[in-house]
Amino acid sequence: MAIQHTVVFRLVHPLDSPESAAFLADAREQLTSVPGVQHFAVHRQVSAKSALEHQFSMVFDDEAAYEAYSAHPTHTAFVAERWVPEVAEFQEFDFVDAA
């Protein structure tokens, strides 16, 4: 079953700063290079009921593709080198179709 993997987050950088734009562009370039990543999208989170400001969303065909992405060296390097130092706060959610 297809899985939509999402993470809603707030960067340490000011919204719409050059540093924020660079993070989003680099994330798109690096993460979409990982096999299995489909429908990669970047959204702004605009509800005042959350302090988080962006969302990454991507779709995997199945759990195996998701696990291969998580373990892929491009993904783990991105997490270590960019995500950890540049993300102030985040929450992951993964969605599947309801039964």
Report in angstroms how near the CB of residue 42 gets to a second copy at its nearest: 4
Contact pick of 73, 84, 85, 99 for a second copy (by CB under 8 A): 99
Question: Would you count residue 95 as binding a second copy (CB under 8 A)?
Answer: yes
- Could you say which residues in the range 61-90 bind a second copy, by CB under 8 A? none
- Could you say which residues in the range 5-24 bind a second copy, by CB under 8 A? 5, 8, 16, 24
| Contact track, a second copy, 36-55, x by CB under 8 A | ------xxxxxx-xx-x-xx
Which helix (DSSP H) or strand (DSSP E) does residue 18 occupy? helix 18-31
* DSSP letter, residue 80: I
Q: What contacts 24+ positions apart, CB below 8 Å, involve 62-68? A: 62/1, 62/2, 62/3, 63/3, 65/35, 65/36, 66/3, 66/5, 66/36, 66/94, 68/35, 68/36
Q: How far apart are CA 83 and CA 43, in angstroms?
A: 17
In the complex, which residues of this chain contact a second copy (CB under 8 A)? 3-5, 8, 16, 24, 42-47, 49-50, 52, 54-55, 91-99
